[in-house]
Each structure stands twice: as structure tokens, then as C-alpha cells.
């Protein structure tokens, strides 16, 4: 029971965080139809989920992932205020360590925001089932999308929360942290698909173009996974030059086998000992190669879209350009936090754009 108390308290704070957005949504969508209100709530949740992903990157980049080394509370308290003595003791023992007052607040703020997003998704799911039950009753003639997609989104965010817990309890285990990131962007992809279901706006394009969007989306997801692996293993500066990697070398000694041992502790090899520089450079170079492939694929997709959906072509080119600039800035400017956050935000935006585009191509021409 003691372990459930901080969970309930953190959830309550998350509920308080969600009250403001819910009140704003209720006020702004008062005159809308039922499906219009659900669509507006989905858009709001999508926006806040995007913000949550960026703040999650900020948490990782400031080394705040273990700012509170237990879960769901902070030293069994709902906030760092109640854990002040524990935090001060940890900070005194290791002033630049993982536990400080600032890092504890960053970590707990991330948990509060995640709880708030979870509550919004719960409200969205309940409303979608309620709307489905009311379909064709009391004179309602609105087209109501299936409530199973919001339900999947709710289950998904619960699993994402479980991986968030494992991220802390398993001390930033790289595979778990990367999966936590992937579930976060997966949640971001579910929401625009759901948003489009409430007001379909199909684009008439050849079927082959839809296949091209699917292919680019798959490549982008793989690239995000590689980016997560780079970040969680702190391999960004293993190659500190561009276009060369290190010491003027285009292709230095690389150890892909060691770098892509998935089940191991942070900074260590699976069989024991520290991860080598060659392994970190291999992780970085894999991401660079993936970036070149994805960038080329987006250029090709934008060219194919230029006649059927010119606006989408321009948006994808802008997203690809943003990723190129922020990615290069991470290397040549020694990984500044602004560039790193911009790179994460750009990756999330690119996946959201591709998912929305795919949702609108569901009724493609033969």
C-alpha cells in the first residue's frame, strides 16, 4: 500500500496539470459537433504529446533521468519537496551526480506532464465510447469513427508509462530507454491518424505513391530508433567532425558488433568491461548512414508529391532540411542542448507529418 500512495499522488498532480487544457478545450469547442469536439481534444493531446517528447529529450540531455532514482515518486514522496533531505544527502555526496534538486524537479515535471497526457487520452477514450453508444439515437446522425483506436492509444500510453518506470528502475538501461523513446513517438503517430479519422480529407493519388509514403515512414522510424540508440549511449560526439568522423578519418576503426549489443548496461559491454570508442563510433556512423538514406528517400518522395500534393512536398522538404541542419549542429558545435532538442523535435514532427499524409492517402486512386 505504501508504494501505491506516491502513485496516486503523482496521478493526482497529473490530473491537476490536465485540468487547464481540458477547460480550454471545453470552452473553445462548445459550439462544435460531438465529433468536432473529439477531434479538437485529439489535436490538443497531440500537441501536448509532442511537447512531452521534447521535454523527455530535455530530461535525458540534462542527465536528469535519475534525478529521482525511484518510481513513481521521488524517494517515496510525490515531489522533490518531500524528498529534500534525501536529495541534499545525495547531492552532498556527489555534487555533479545524477541526483540534484534541479534534476529531481526536471524528472518529476516530466512524470507530471506524462500523467496529464495520460488523463487526456483517458477522457478521449471514454468520450469516444460514449459517442459511439449514442450513434443513431436521439436524432444523432453524425458519422462516428470506431472507438477502438482511442482505446489502443490508451493501452499504448499505459505501456509507455511502464517503460518509463523501467527506465528509472533499470538505471537508464540503453535498450529500455530506446524503447521508451520509440513508444513515445508511436503514441505521437497514433494521435494524428486518429485526428484524421474524425474529419477525413483524402488525397487522390496513385497507389504507388501511398506505397512510397509507407516505405519512407518505415525508414524514418528505423532512423529514429538509431538516433535513440546514439543518444542513450552518448555516442553523439564519437564522431566530432563533418564530413569526416574523427581525426580527419572518413571511416575510422569501428566495432558494430559491440556497439549493437542490445542487452547491456549503460557504458558497458554485454560480457563485462567498458564500451570501447570503436563501438561508440560505430553507433554514430550507423546513424549517419541512416540519415543519408532517409534524407535521400524524403527528397524522392517530395519530388513524387510535387504534382499531387505540392504543399506536402514543401513541408517534407522543410522537415528534412531542419533535421539536416540540427543534426550537423550537434556534431560541429559539440552537441549544444538547443540543437539536440531541435533535432528531437524535428524527428517527431517528421513522423507526425508522414503519418498524417498516410492517413489522408487511405483512399488512393488505382
Residues 108 and 194 in one domain: yes
Last residue of a domain, one of 180, 200, 220: 200
Residues 101 and 183 in one domain: yes
* Count of domains observed in the chain: 2
Last residue of a domain, one of 175, 200, 225: 200
Higher-confidence position of 135 and 272:
272
Residues 52 and 133 in one domain: yes
Contacts of 194 (CB under 8 A, 6+ apart): 42, 145, 149, 150, 153
Report phi then psi at 365, rounded to 5.
-75, 155
Cα dist from 107 to 39, 75, 167, 195, whole Å: 31, 12, 12, 30
- Answer for the pair 356, 197: CB distance below 8 angstroms, yes or no: no
Residues 128 and 214 in one domain: no
Residues 4 and 121 in one domain: yes
Confidence of residue 255 (pLDDT cuts 50, 70, 90): very high
Residues 257 and 362 in one domain: yes
Supply 233's cell numbers.
Answer: 549511449
- Cβ count near 94 (within 10 Å): 10
Q: Mapping DSSP to helix (H, G, I), strand (E, B) and coil, where does residue 2 land? A: coil
Q: Over the chain, what is the mean pLDDT?
A: 92
Last residue of a domain, one of 159, 177, 200: 200
**pLDDT tens-place string over residues 301-343:** 999 999 889 999 999 999 999 999 999 999 999 889 999 999 9
Confidence of residue 2 (pLDDT cuts 50, 70, 90): low
R_g of the chain computed on alpha carbons: 22
Residues 65 and 196 in one domain: yes
Catalytic residue selected from 107, 135, 196, 199: 107
Residues 144 and 45 in one domain: yes
- Answer for the pair 216, 266: CB distance below 8 angstroms, yes or no: no
H or E segment to which residue 198 belongs: helix 174-198
The range of the structural domain enclosing residue 31 comes to: 1-200
How far apart are the C-alpha atoms of 75 and 83, rounded to whole Å? Answer: 6
Residues 193 and 211 in one domain: no
- Assess whether 196 carries a catalytic annotation: no
How far apart are the C-alpha atoms of 354 and 339, rounded to whole Å? Answer: 22
Residues 107 and 4 in one domain: yes
Burial class (CB in 10 A: 0-12, 13-18, 19+), 68: buried
**pLDDT tens-place string over residues 43-64:** 999 999 999 999 999 999 999 9
DSSP state of 276: P
Confidence of residue 3 (pLDDT cuts 50, 70, 90): low
Residues 160 and 108 in one domain: yes
pTM: 0.94
Q: How far is CA 274 from the centre of its chain?
A: 29
Residues 152 and 26 in one domain: yes
Confidence of residue 145 (pLDDT cuts 50, 70, 90): confident
Supply 2's cell numbers.
Answer: 505504501
Cα dist from 242 to 224, 286, 297, whole Å: 20, 14, 21
DSSP state of 275: P
Amino acid at each position: 500500500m505504501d508504494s501505491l500512495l506516491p502513485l496516486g499522488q503523482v496521478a493526482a498532480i497529473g490530473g491537476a496539470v490536465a485540468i487547464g487544457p481540458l477547460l480550454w478545450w471545453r470552452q473553445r469547442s462548445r459550439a462544435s459537433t460531438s465529433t468536432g469536439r473529439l477531434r479538437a481534444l485529439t489535436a490538443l493531446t497531440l500537441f501536448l504529446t509532442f511537447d512531452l517528447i521534447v521535454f523527455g529529450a530535455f530530461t535525458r540531455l540534462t542527465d536528469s533521468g535519475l534525478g529521482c532514482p525511484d518510481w513513481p515518486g521521488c524517494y517515496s514522496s510525490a515531489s522533490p519537496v518531500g524528498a529534500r533531505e534525501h536529495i541534499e544527502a545525495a547531492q552532498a555526496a556527489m555534487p555533479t551526480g545524477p541526483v540534484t534538486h534541479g534534476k529531481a524537479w526536471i524528472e518529476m515535471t516530466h512524470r507530471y506532464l506524462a500523467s496529464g497526457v495520460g488523463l487526456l487520452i483517458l477522457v478521449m477514450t471514454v468520450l469516444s465510447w460514449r459517442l459511439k453508444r449514442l450513434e443513431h439515437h436521439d436524432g444523432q446522425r453524425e458519422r462516428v469513427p470506431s472507438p477502438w483506436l482511442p482505446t489502443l492509444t490508451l493501452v499504448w500510453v499505459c505501456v509507455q508509462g511502464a517503460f518509463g518506470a523501467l527506465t528509472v528502475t533499470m538505471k537508464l538501461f540503453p535498450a529500455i530507454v530506446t524503447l521508451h523513446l520509440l513508444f513515445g513517438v508511436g503514441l505521437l503517430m497514433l494521435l494524428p491518424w486518429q485526428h484524421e479519422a474524425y474529419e477525413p480529407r483524402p488525397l487522390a493519388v496513385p497507389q504507388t505513391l501511398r506505397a512510397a509514403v509507407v516505405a519512407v515512414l518505415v525508414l524514418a522510424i528505423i532512423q529514429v530508433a538509431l538516433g535513440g540508440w546514439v543518444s542513450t549511449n552518448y555516442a553523439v560526439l564519437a564522431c566530432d567532425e563533418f564530413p569526416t568522423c574523427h581525426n580527419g578519418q572518413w571511416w575510422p576503426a569501428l566495432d558494430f558488433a559491440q556497439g549493437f549489443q542490445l542487452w547491456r548496461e549503460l557504458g558497458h559491454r554485454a560480457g563485462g568491461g567498458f564500451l570501447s570508442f570503436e563501438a561508440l563510433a560505430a553507433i554514430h556512423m550507423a546513424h549517419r548512414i541512416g540519415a543519408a538514406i532517409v534524407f535521400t528517400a524524403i527528397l524522392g518522395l517530395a519530388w513524387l508529391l510535387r504534382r499531387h500534393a505540392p504543399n506536402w512536398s514543401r513541408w517534407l522538404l522543410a522537415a528534412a532540411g531542419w533535421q539536416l541542419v540540427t543534426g550537423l549542429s550537434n556534431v560541429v558545435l559539440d552537441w549544444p542542448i538547443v540543437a539536440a532538442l531541435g533535432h528531437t523535435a524535428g524527428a517527431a514532427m517528421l513522423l507526425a507529418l508522414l503519418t498524417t499524409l498516410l492517413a489522408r492517402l487511405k483512399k488512393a486512386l488505382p
